[in-house]
Amino acid sequence: MPTSAVTDASFQSDVLESDKPVLVDFWADWCGPCKMIGPALEEISDELGERVTIAKMDIMENPDTPGKLGVQGIPYLALYKNGEIVADMRGAAPKSQLKGWLEQQL
């Protein structure tokens, strides 16, 4: 499953009201580390898509949600279950580390 884009307008329905866990990648086009982990997140989405939705939020186009959450640095990954953040990770990491961290949380 490819990653999906989330906006300020769709955040409530796509993330907070989702039936399955959602990993939100807060990113920006100018962020080098964000671009580095993008392909890894796409692969993880293909591998774990049955268990988790992986969504990307461009913080430049959608400043409200990251602002409310106090997102200070990117990339910032937040895993939501039942509308709550249950785990988060700041910064870039290799795919194996990202996938291992995510699997521990699911």
Reference 25, options 9, 65, 1, 51; nearest CA is 65
Give the largest CA-CA distance in the chain: 32
Mention the CATH class of domain 4-101.
Answer: alpha beta
- Which residues belong to the active site? 31, 34
Q: How many Cβ atoms sit within 10 Å of the Cβ of residue 40?
A: 17
Q: What is the pLDDT tens value at each position of the chain, 106 positions in all?
A: 678 999 999 999 999 999 999 999 999 999 999 999 999 999 999 999 999 999 999 999 999 999 999 999 999 999 999 999 999 999 999 999 999 999 999 9
pTM of the model: 0.96
Buried residues in 59-94 as b, exposed as e (16+ CB within 10 A): beebeebbeebebeebbbbbbbeeeeeebbbeebbe
In the chain, what is the straight-line distance between the N-terminal and C-terminal CA atoms, in Å? 17
